[in-house]
Amino acid sequence: MAPSTTLLRLAARRAASPAFAALRAAPSAHASAQPRRAFHSGSSSENRLKLDEVDEQNAAEHDTLHENKEYLQHEKNLRPIWTALRGRALLNEPTLNKGAGFTMEERETFGLLGLLPHEVHSLEQQCKRAYSQLQERPSSIAKYTFLSSLRDQNIVLFYGVCLRHLNELLPIIYTPTVGEAIQKYSTIWRRPDGLFLSYDHRHRMREMMFQAKRPKDVDLIVVTDSEGILGIGDQGVGGILISMGKSNIYTLGGGIDPSRILPVVLDVGTDNSALLNDPLYLGLRRKRLRGEKYDEFVDAFCDLVREEYPQAMLHFEDFGVHNGGRLLQKFRPKQSCFNDDMQGTAAVVLSALVSAVKVTKSELKDQRIIVYGFGTAGLGIADGIRNALMIEAGLSSEEVRKLFYCIDRQGLLTTEHADVLRPGQEHFIRDKEEVAAWQRDGEKGISLLEVVKQAKPTILIGCSTMSGAFNEEVVKEMAKHVDRPIIFPLSNPTKLAEADPADINEWTNGKALMATGSPFPPVKNPHNGKLHKIAMSNNALVYPGFGLGVITARASQLTDKMITAGVAALAKLAPALEDPDESLLPGLHDLRHISVKVAVAVANAAREEGVSGIERDDPFTEEEIRNAQWDPVYRPLELADV
C-alpha cells in the first residue's frame, strides 16, 4: 500500500536526521573489511550492543565474536517498515511491537500515547529487564514458558535476549527443556503458533496453508509428524514445539527472518496411550495413521509445498525411524529438503571427524570406522561419511564399505542379516565369510569388544543410547592399536552417553580425540596439565548455515556436494587445528559467524552444480549473505494508508 503524504514527509525528516545521515556517510557493508557483524536497534546509537554491558559469564565469548569490541551498523536495519496497524492492534502484533522501545515520534504517529509508560527504553535496556525477569523463574520449564510468552509479544526482544545469552538459553528454548514442554503441551498450551495439519482436514490442506501464510512468502518450512521426538518417542500434536524450536535456531544461528519460517505438525494421530487417555489432549484422538493413507497425506503436503512455495526449503524433523530416511530419499530429487536427524547429525559429526583426522595428520579414507548403534542417527552419520569419501576422495561404494564395521541389536551387521536390514544399511555390512572365525556372543552376535579386537579401529562412534557401552576394556583395547584414538560417544542425553570423556581420557592417557552429543566439562591433559575442551556435536552448528545457503541461492535441491561443502567450511573453523587441546568444533557462541561461513560454501556449491535459481557468474560472498540476514533490532516504523 502507498504511504500517506504526511508520513512521506515524516520519512523524509527521519532520513535527514543526523543519525541517518551519519550511517549513510559510513562505509557500506560490502566495502568494510570487518568480517563479522553485530546488531543495532534502529537509529539510536545507544541501542547498540556494548561489550561492557554483557554479563561476565559471556564476556569472553563476545570477545571472540567481536575482536575489536566494535559493532558495525547495517543500513538495511534503518529501512522503515510500513504498516497500517495503530494503537492496541500494533502492540498486539509481535513482529512489529517494540513495547517501551517505540520512539516518541512513533507513539504520536501510531496512536500509542497513553498506552505505554512515558519513558522510551533502548533494546539493550529491555533485554536486561527481560533477562532479569527470566532469572526469577524457578525451573527450566518455567523459563521456557516465559520465553514463549515473550516471543508471542515481541519477536525482536525474544531473539535479542536469546542471542545475548545463547549458550545459557539454548538448552531452554531447544533441547532438553523443549522435550519436557512437548510432553506437557496440552497442559501448558496458551496460544497457537505454527500450522496444525490434521488428517481429518486433509482435503482443506491448501486452504489451511494459505491461512497460515500468504502464498510466495515462505523461505523455510519445518515439519514433523511427531513420531520420533528427541528420544521420547510419539508425542502427537505436541511435536509442533520441536518445529518451533528448530525455527528459533534457524533465526538465531542463520539470521533467517522468523516471519518467513513456517513450523508445521502433521497430526496423523498418536500411539501414545497416555495422550489418548488425557482429557486435555489437543490433538487428533486416534491411533497413528500408517501405510498407504499416511503416504498419501505426506505426499499431498510435500507436493503442495513444492507447488506453492517452490523456493522454500523443507526441513523434516523427528519423523519415525521407518519413515525419515524413506521420505527424504523420495522427495530429495523433487525439491529442496533436509532431514536434520540424518543429514544434520551426519554433517556436524563429519566436521568433527575431519578436524580430528587433520590433528592426527592422516586422511579420512585411511580410517577404520566402527558405528555402534545403527538406527536413524548411526545410518545418517555413516551415509554422510560415505558421501564425503565418494565425492572428495573418489572412493567407490565398495571401497567405502570396507572401511566400516556397523553394530546394531544383532551385533556386527553382515550379509547374513540381509533379510532384516533397513534401506540404506546394505551399503555398510561386512561379508559373513570374512568374519566367520570371529567369536560370537550367542544370540547377540559379534560384540563390540570382539570387533575392536579384530578390526583395530581408528574411529569409534556411538549412537546406541547404551550408557557405559564404551567401557574400560573396549577403550583400552582400541588404544593398543592406534596412537590417537578418535572416540565419539554421541548419545543424548548425558546419562545415555556411551562413556564419560573423563574416563576415556584416563584410559587412553590423554591421547583420545573426542566429541560428544551432550555438553561435558573439559578434561585435563596428563602430559602438559592443560584442559582439553570436549567438542559438542550440536546440529545447530551446521543446519542454520545450510538453510541460509539454500535460501540465498534459491536452490532447488540440497545436494550431497552442497552438504559436503558446508561440512568442509565448518571443519576449517575447528580450534583444534591451531591447538590440539582445543575443541574439534567451534563454540555455539560464534553461531552467526559460523552460519555465514557455511552458507557461503553451500550457496556457491549450488551455483557450481547448477541448482541455484539465481543466474550469476561471480560467487556469493560473506558480506552479501551477512547483509541478507534478519537481525533482532528495532527498525523504524512508518504509517501506510489503507
- Which of helix, strand or coil describes residue 48? coil
Task: Answer yes or no: are the C-beta atoms of 230 and 175 closer than 8 Å.
Answer: yes
Q: What angle do CA 437, 441, 446 make, to 5 degrees?
A: 55
DSSP reduced 3-state for 460: strand
Q: Catalytic annotation on 405?
A: no
Q: What ranges make up the beta strands (E) of 209-275? A: 220-224, 261-267
The amino acid that residue 412 corresponds to is: L
Among residues 250, 252, 337, 345, the alpha carbon closest in space to that of 562 is found at 337
Q: What distance in Å separates the CA atoms of residue 153 and residue 23, rounded to the nearest whole number? A: 30
439: its cell numbers: 567369536
For the beta sheet containing 313-316, the strands, ordered from the edge strand earlier in sequence to the opposite edge, are: 195-198, 261-267, 220-224, 313-316, 337-339
Dist CA 30 CA 333 (whole Å): 35
Give me the residues paired with residue 369 across strands.
Answer: 404, 459
Q: State yes or no: cis peptide before 522, omega within 30 of 0.
A: no
Candidates 143, 246, 561, 597; catalytic one: 246
Is 341 known as a binding-site position? yes
| The CA-based dihedral angle spanning residues 442, 443, 448, 454, taken in that order and rounded to the nearest 10 degrees | 50
Residue 495 annotated to the active site: no
How many residues in the chain?
642
**Is 318 labelled as part of a ligand binding site?**
yes
Q: Is 538 among the annotated ligand-binding positions?
A: yes
DSSP state for residue 165 in the 8-state scheme: T
* Alpha carbon distances (Å) from 8 to 3, 14, 110, 334, 417: 6, 10, 14, 45, 72
Catalytic residue among 71, 144, 159, 174: 174
Whole-number Cα distances in Å, 634 to 119, 189, 253, 254, 402: 16, 29, 19, 18, 55
The cell for 108 is: 504520536
295 among annotated binding-site residues: no
**The cell 489432549 sits on which residue?**
281
Please tell me the distance from the alpha carbon of residue 86 to that of residue 552, in angstroms, as a whole number: 33
Across 469-570, where does the E strand assignment appear? 486-489, 513-516, 523-524, 531-532, 535-536
**608 marked ligand binding residue:** no
Nearest to 298 by CA among 289, 310, 287: 289
Positions at the binding site = 317-318, 341, 492, 538
Positions at the binding site for a divalent metal cation = 317-318, 341
Residues labelled as active-site residues:
174, 246
Positions at the binding site for (S)-malate = 492, 538
